[in-house]
Chains A and B, each alone.
Chain A
Amino acid sequence: MRRISAAALLMAMISLLTGATSAGAQDSSGKDEKLVFRVGSSNDIDGFNPFKIVEIPSYEVMGLTYDYLVNFSPKDASPAPGLADSWETSDDGLTWTFHLNKDAKWHDGKPVTSEDVAYTFRRILKEKQGLYIDYVRQIDKIETPDKHTVVFKTKDPSVQMLSMLVYILPKHIWKDVPAEETKTFENEPAIGSGPFQAVEWKEGQSVRLEANPDYFRGAPHIDEIIFQLYDNDDTMVQALKNGEVDYIAWFPINLFKSLENQKGIETNSAPDPGFTELGFNLYEPSPEAIEEFGAPKTSTGNPALLDPLVREAINWSIDEEELTQKILQGEGILGSTLVPPALARYHLKLDESEIQGFDIERSKELLEQAGWRDTNGDGTVDKDGEELELRLFVRSEDKDSVTAGQFIEDWLKEAGIGLETKAISDTALTDAIYAADYDMFIWGWGSDPDPDFILSVLTCDQIMGWSDTFWCNEDYSRMYQEQKEQLDIDERAATIKEMQRIAYEENPYVIFYYDNQTEAWRTDKFEGWTKTPTAANPGQVAFTVSTKTYMNLRPLSSSEETGGGGGTSPLLYVGIGVVVITVIAGIVFFLRRGSAEDRA
């Protein structure tokens, strides 16, 4: 009885498989009718709700789905028409008038009006939405004289009005979302006004975007974009090699090197506006900080670090050149000041004489000036009977920071500073920082196209916010407020450069390098890859402030249809066949033996 049912099951399985196989054969021919651009990413998105996104690919998906009021030019990241075709400022710089494009439509066909724009900004201001509030804080009043005109009045003149990275949302969708659901609203499919529409998210697997054929600046030439979310960088690179994915970004340098000079694959490494730094715990508990910011009551940071001379000594004992060469294998720029060179207009380029380079002797001198010398001959400097022993936290989630920690341990030891390095998770490190329970750490920052954000990180107001050093310099913080109101770019740049000089001399951070972003793509399927340059470099093709590549991509004009690998592999059927035959043979064998014996 048992055997009969097993055999029946087997027969059922075989018929199912053959049925499926023939169905598969039929359909595989019509499979390629849609023109799909596949992007590989090693991070998942956070969803389609623009109020809760943090992962890099989320910004790419949202940037394709929504429009800004003012875009960044793909030529040099200067202001370019977005939803607004043009704009003007009043003479006092307090009134900004934006004229919207009259053809702009939401993905559901409704027209984009000034009401939508006003609604979006008012909602952010009213709910103080953390991701966007700093872009819009200066806005005092919003008026909509007609359907296609928005007028903003600001409290003070503000440079930020043309670099507000705020996605304009449709009022008719969001007005039904209550304030307490702003961050939990799923927004799938997302209704925006952009060239593509995010329609489907399979968590941990993929994100699908469909082209918007009615886009007011012209329809894209591809039908779909699919972001494929790989858990493993090595696998992602292999997937590029065999054509499962057309473009990948944000993968480690060693894999980048392995893709260089491969046929059919183009690699590009371009300076990304960000850096990797060593940060110090400079917290001195004070009643105001505890009261005003909810800062911790105590700090376990080594008080020696509060002396700028000690921090400068540490900077002199770190070889940024070596770190750039060994860790980034040259795919990056030597670190120095706070605003990355990618933001060329605002980056402070130091003179040779100002650079705190690599010189262990200099480092020892500085320590001696600060009163630290090795009196007991144990190799570690001391002062008032205290040895200089520091703790360094590196990120277990980032191999590069672990490697950097090993280098630094050796260098500091040479300079006479004892160092204990510990790798911890990002969440644990975040906790340690907010509890002021650390001496030093290695982490990084990414910058907006405008330097405002990266400058804000070191201001006093950001303690218990974005600040991870507790550094509080009053001149620096005052100048930060000043630059916000300087409408003249040259004046603003001068202030920003001065701020960077203060930060460089005081060393709340030792910036190792400005990391390059890695990307690679296949050359056998699409053409129209467009780099979005910044003032300083030729730029990347995707994950930039513009969506140029996605708009320009079109299939290779040559009719050569390589496709390949699209259909079902013949081996699968061979494999299934072999398994089925083996199982049948086995069962027949045992059945025969069994019955033979039963008869005996």
Chain B
Amino acid sequence: MLVLNFFLFRILPGDPERTLTRLQRVSPSTIEEVKRELGLDRPLTVQFFDYLGDTARGELGISYVFSRPVSEVIGNALWPTILLLGVATVGATVIGTLLGIWGAWRRGSTVDTASLGFSLITYAMPEFWLGMLLILAFAVALDWFPTSFMSTPGLTDASAGVMLVDTLEHLFLPALTLVLALLGEFALIMRSSVIEAMNEDYVTTARAKGMREALVLRKHVVPNALLPVVTLAALNLGFIVSGAITVETVFSWPGLGQLTSRAINGGPDYPLLQGLFLLFSVAVIFANLAADLLLGLLDPRIGRA
């Protein structure tokens, strides 16, 4: 993974030393100097082993674009992304799952058809377009929510309460966009999973015992049907940190997605990209691990195996 992270970005077009000197009227000697400062004058293999050593020591280097430590730059962008994607994933999981259960339970009814259609449409919709539509409706036509940013620019000396409300207002539209975009997947998977579970023998047995239908659903069907959704949610959480680049762009949300696109355009900023993708890979690995552990906990068959 480290190897891939290192070499992948060296293939990107662009010379950081060129971009950093900003195409100024610089002599070749200045460029050599900048290269030396960045350590780009040494052979690639030496650079690579330096990178391995630094990473092992937990040093991610200095971002070319921001002239600050990579860990600090990433740290600043991490919380906005976790807030936005966290809220959206939780919202999408809960609403999507409930929609799925409801649809499966009342299979074939108007509710089912409507929720199925809705899920498919929002699932297929490009996120940035959905975002623009929501801006037009809620920010421009109704003027209920702001269009961009994580807080009102210039709101600095306000109380914590005001700041919180301000952030919630700014969070609403991007989070709603992501909830709508994500919930279709959850609803569809939950629906088919519930339908499948409802045909299992133990459900028939439970019904035969004379249990009420709602109770059958809650006690026997849903817990079993929930397993694939748990996997999906955990995996999604892994991808959370890589941010939602398009949504973050539409709403100018200062998260990791925005940072990634700036790192690519501004250089390329090798240390920052390496740092970002290291974080993304680690997050996905941990999410997989979490999904496995969680499944073991929820499904005794796996846990004991």
Contacts from A to B (Cβ < 8 Å): 19-24, 27-28, 36, 38, 44, 52, 54, 130-131, 133-134, 184, 200, 202-206, 208, 224, 226, 228-232, 234-236, 238-239, 241-244, 293-294, 424-428, 430-431, 434, 462, 464-466, 564-565, 568-569, 571-572, 575-576, 590, 593, 597
Task: Flag whether B100 is at the interface (Cβ < 8 A).
Answer: no
- The 8 A CB mask of B131-153 against A (1 = contact, 0 = none) is 01001100110111111111001
Nearest-CB residue, chain B, relative to A132 = B24
Task: Flag whether B220 is at the interface (Cβ < 8 A).
Answer: no
Q: Shortest distance in angstroms between B10's beta carbon and chain A's nearest beta carbon?
A: 13
Q: Shortest distance in angstroms between B58's beta carbon and chain A's nearest beta carbon?
A: 23
Total CB contacts across the A-B interface at under 8 A: 167
Q: List 16 A-B contacts (CB under 8 A).
A: A20-B164, A23-B162, A130-B25, A130-B26, A133-B25, A202-B153, A208-B153, A226-B154, A229-B252, A231-B248, A231-B258, A232-B250, A238-B136, A241-B140, A427-B13, A427-B265
Nearest-CB residue, chain A, relative to B141 = A242
Stretch from B15-23, B105-113, B196-204 contacting the other chain: B15-23
Contact assessment for B147 and A242 in the assembled complex, using a CB-CB cutoff below 8 Å: yes
Bound CA–CA A572/B143 (angstroms)? 12
Complex interface: chain A residues within 8 A of B13 (CB): 424-425, 427-428, 431
Bound CA–CA A24/B28 (angstroms)? 57
Contact assessment for B153 and A568 in the assembled complex, using a CB-CB cutoff below 8 Å: no
User: Number of B residues whose C-beta is below 8 Å from A?
Assistant: 61
From the candidates B21, B146, B164, name the one contacting A130 in the complex (CB within 8 A): B21
- The 8 A CB mask of B21-40 against A (1 = contact, 0 = none) is 11111101010000000000
Nearest-CB residue, chain B, relative to A571 = B144
Stretch from B165-173, B231-239, B276-284, B296-304 contacting the other chain: B165-173
Contact assessment for B14 and A427 in the assembled complex, using a CB-CB cutoff below 8 Å: yes
Bound CA–CA A229/B153 (angstroms)? 9
From the candidates B23, B25, B267, name the one contacting A134 in the complex (CB within 8 A): B25
Stretch from B42-50, B182-190, B211-219 contacting the other chain: B211-219
From the candidates B146, B252, B259, name the one contacting A205 in the complex (CB within 8 A): B252
Q: Shortest distance in angstroms between A591's beta carbon and chain B's nearest beta carbon?
A: 12
Q: Shortest distance in angstroms between B105's beta carbon and chain A's nearest beta carbon?
A: 15
Bound CA–CA A558/B281 (angstroms)? 58
Nearest-CB residue, chain B, relative to A130 = B24
Contact assessment for A569 and B149 in the assembled complex, using a CB-CB cutoff below 8 Å: no
Task: Flag whether B249 is at the interface (Cβ < 8 A).
Answer: yes
From the candidates B159, B218, B250, name the one contacting A231 in the complex (CB within 8 A): B250
Bound CA–CA A316/B159 (angstroms)? 65
Contact assessment for A203 and B254 in the assembled complex, using a CB-CB cutoff below 8 Å: yes
Bound CA–CA A36/B28 (angstroms)? 45
Bound CA–CA A569/B172 (angstroms)? 12
Q: Shortest distance in angstroms between A135's beta carbon and chain B's nearest beta carbon?
A: 12
Bound CA–CA A434/B13 (angstroms)? 13
Nearest-CB residue, chain A, relative to B128 = A232
Bound CA–CA A205/B77 (angstroms)? 12
Nearest-CB residue, chain B, relative to A574 = B144
Contact assessment for A206 and B218 in the assembled complex, using a CB-CB cutoff below 8 Å: no
Complex interface: chain A residues within 8 A of B268 (CB): 427
Contact assessment for A230 and B25 in the assembled complex, using a CB-CB cutoff below 8 Å: no
Contact assessment for B28 and A242 in the assembled complex, using a CB-CB cutoff below 8 Å: no
Contact assessment for B154 and A242 in the assembled complex, using a CB-CB cutoff below 8 Å: no
From the candidates A202, A224, A424, A428, name the one contacting B254 in the complex (CB within 8 A): A202
From the candidates A205, A234, A238, A428, name the one contacting B153 in the complex (CB within 8 A): A205
Bound CA–CA A130/B30 (angstroms)? 10
Complex interface: chain A residues within 8 A of B249 (CB): 231-232
Contact A465/B140 with A204-B258, A206-B154 known, Cβ cut-off 8 Å: no
Contact assessment for B153 and A27 in the assembled complex, using a CB-CB cutoff below 8 Å: no
Q: Shortest distance in angstroms between B98's beta carbon and chain A's nearest beta carbon?
A: 8
Ranked nearest first, the 4 interchain pairs of A and B with the lowest CB-CB distance are A23-B161, A427-B14, A206-B153, A130-B24
From the candidates A22, A204, A424, A434, name the one contacting B262 in the complex (CB within 8 A): A204
